[in-house]
Every structure is written in structure tokens, then in C-alpha cells.
Amino acid sequence: MNEMEKLQYVLFERLHRRAPGIDKLDRLWDAAVLLPLVRTPEGISVLFEERAHTLRSQPGEVCFPGGKYECEDNSFRNTAVRETCEELGLKPENITICGELDCLVTHNGPIIHPFVGLIDDISKITYSKSEVERIFTVPLKMLLEQKPRRGSVQLADHPGDDFPFDLVPQRKRGWRMNKSYYVYFYLYEDKVIWGLTARMLYAFLYRSRKELTEYLAEEID
């Protein structure tokens, strides 16, 4: 084995020990959430949580159940189920996972892995009051019919005090516009569903609109 063949072997062995993922050197971390569907008197509905008002992070905001991935979960699917059970007082057998949506890489930390699932009986929910202020449902038909409002957010970067301008003198000081992205807003009664929750909801409705519309039409018939 010559030198290049040896290097090829070493690199092949090293790089194939695990599947490539997402670079997390910028302190990114993984979380998983469940977009829950339940049957209500109004028909198939999406269930939302209002975060407890005593929480330090985003108190009172509307969200889906979910949380940070733990090593013992072994999969993001298990994370979504575990967190939903903890927050809504359910057992794993009460939840049926239907599939996974595209993961969402956010600008402030978490890489979110969203799953769509069915909760077999809404009456079994006894939510954790330390995490959840209340739950509410929105009929799926109503969400499909609603065109969400949207607004754009601009991202910019700004070099810190330790940035080595002497190495790249062409880099100017001050803020520099980078890109923009859309934020979606769904309205229901006195609730505003927005941010990452609305982004996942929009992706689900957009991706499954045809199948969901046909299902609801058959259910009415």
C-alpha cells in the first residue's frame, strides 16, 4: 500500500464512521416537536398549547408540544413523543406518528425536527400546568381556508470587537444586511399563531393540502 492509498484508507475509515449531519460548531442544538391532530365536535382539528405565563422563555406564546433532544431518546421521533407525553399527560400508546416534516434550522439555536401525529382521545389530556397555561384546538378545515398574513424579517451581521480586520481589510465595519425571511401569522378567535409554530403549520398545510381537502370532503359526505 503506497502513501496515497494509505491516506485514502484512513480518511475513508474516518469519514464513514457516521452519516454526515449539520455543522453545530455555532452552538446549534436539536429539538423535536409534534403537530398534533385530534377529533373534536368541530371535526379534525390541530391542537395547540399556550405556554405557561410563569416560564422564563416565551411565556404565553402559542406552540406545539416538544423540546430538546436527549441522548436516551435515540431518535427525534422519540423526543417528540416523550415531550408530548410529559406536557400533555399522555402515554406513548395515545400517540400515532404519521410522518415527519422537513427539519427547520433556526437563526438562534435549535434545529427543529417536526412530526405530525394523531392523539387518539383529547379527553385523556391532563396537561402540565408548570409548562402549559392552556390548550386549544382549531378546526383543520378553518386553517386550510385561511390565508395567513406574513411579514418579512431582515437579518444582518456585525463583526465583534475581536474580529481581525487586519487580515481582511476589505471587510467593512458596521452592520451588513445578509438576507430576509418570511414570518407567518394565523388568527383564531383571540389567539395569534405565529413564528416557528406558524412556519411548521404552513409547511404541513402546504405539503398536504390536496390530501387533507379530499379527506375532509369525504368525511362530510
Condensed to tens digits (0 to 9), the pLDDT of residues 184-208 reads 999 999 999 999 999 999 999 999 9
% of the chain beyond a pLDDT of 70 = 98
Quote the cell numbers at residue 179: 438576507
Closest C-alpha to 205, from 149, 119, 147, 135: 147
Q: Is residue 125 over pLDDT 70?
A: yes
Cell numbers 431518546 correspond to 73
Closest C-alpha to 75, from 29, 106, 119, 30: 30
Number of folded domains in the chain? 1
Residue 221 in any domain: the answer is no
Q: Is residue 76 over pLDDT 90?
A: yes
| Residues forming beta bridges with residue 28, ordered by sequence position | none
pLDDT for residue 206 = 95
Residue 35 in any domain: the answer is yes
Mean pLDDT for all residues in the chain: 92
- At 79, which CATH number? 3.90.79.10
Summarize the confidence of residues 136-145 as an average pLDDT.
Answer: 96
pLDDT for residue 220 = 65
Closest C-alpha to 144, from 210, 92, 191, 55: 210
Least-confidence region, from 11-25, 65-79, 143-157: 11-25
Residue 59 in contact with residue 130, Cβ under 8 Å?
no
Name the residue range of residue 194's domain: 27-213
